[in-house]
Amino acid sequence: MIRITTAGLAVLLMCGLDRADAQFVGSQYTSTAPKDCRQIGKPSELDGSTTRVCKGKDGLVVLIAEDDLREIVSVGRNRKAAAEEPAAKVWFAPFNSSETTVEWRTAAAKPFAMIQRWHIADGTDPDKQGRPNTKAMLIVTRLPPGPVCHVAYVDAIANPNSNELARKAADDFARSFVCGKDEVKIVGASGRAVELATKR
């Protein structure tokens, strides 16, 4: 007969809980396509700037504002809160846009990070019409509680496993990342998209 002491039982229970917690980490998805969001006001006749608010997970909303062919994406409990987050102040110098699928990394059904694919215009690589080709990267963003800000960039062309890298970065760094203090991490091999996005 195998005897398990009280201390041994506690260790086994803790290990079991750790494994259970790990199993609860996963992904859910929402859309930021204009048809799935609420348009705020009318597009500007001067520069075509637009703002829309999209439903996220667990009571969060996604704010997307476009101005001069550049976007910001932020998250909050409402539009006003999202607009005041650090993520709402990040503008990339080249023209850019985000894709309309948001991946939410969740633990026990609570979102702690989001992952979104972006396209950064490369002015040194024109297409046949003379327009800049775009380079893709994934952005990992931390979520409330606490500030919302970019945590990691993953170049999608330089890293064939970019989705896996972005998920790992979200799981490893987002919850402990300190906005305004910690530097955004370049995860995996750096490529042209990350170079363009971080160029100042």
pLDDT in tens, the chain (200 residues): 444 454 444 444 444 444 444 558 999 999 999 999 999 987 665 556 899 999 999 999 999 999 989 999 999 999 999 999 999 999 999 999 999 999 999 999 899 999 999 999 999 999 999 999 999 999 999 999 999 999 999 999 999 999 999 999 999 999 999 999 999 999 999 999 999 999 87
In the prediction, which pLDDT does 145 show? Answer: 94
Please name the residues in contact with 147: beta carbons below 8 A apart, sequence gap of 6 or more: 85, 86, 179, 180
pTM: 0.85
Which residue in 72, 67, 70 sits closest to 87, CA to CA?
72
Residue 51 belongs to domain spanning = 26-198
In the prediction, which pLDDT does 82 show? Answer: 98
In the prediction, which pLDDT does 48 show? Answer: 64
148 domain-assigned: yes
In the prediction, which pLDDT does 199 show? Answer: 85
180 domain-assigned: yes
13 domain-assigned: no
1 domain-assigned: no
Q: DSSP label at 102?
A: E
pLDDT tens-digit series, residues 61-113: 999 999 989 999 999 999 999 999 999 999 999 999 999 999 999 999 899 99
56 domain-assigned: yes
97 domain-assigned: yes
Decide if 26 contacts 32 (C-beta within 8 A): no
Q: Which residue has the tokens 């100042």?
A: 200
The partner residues of 76 in beta bridges, in order of sequence, read 61
5 domain-assigned: no
* Total domains in the fold of the chain: 1
11 domain-assigned: no
In the prediction, which pLDDT does 47 show? Answer: 59
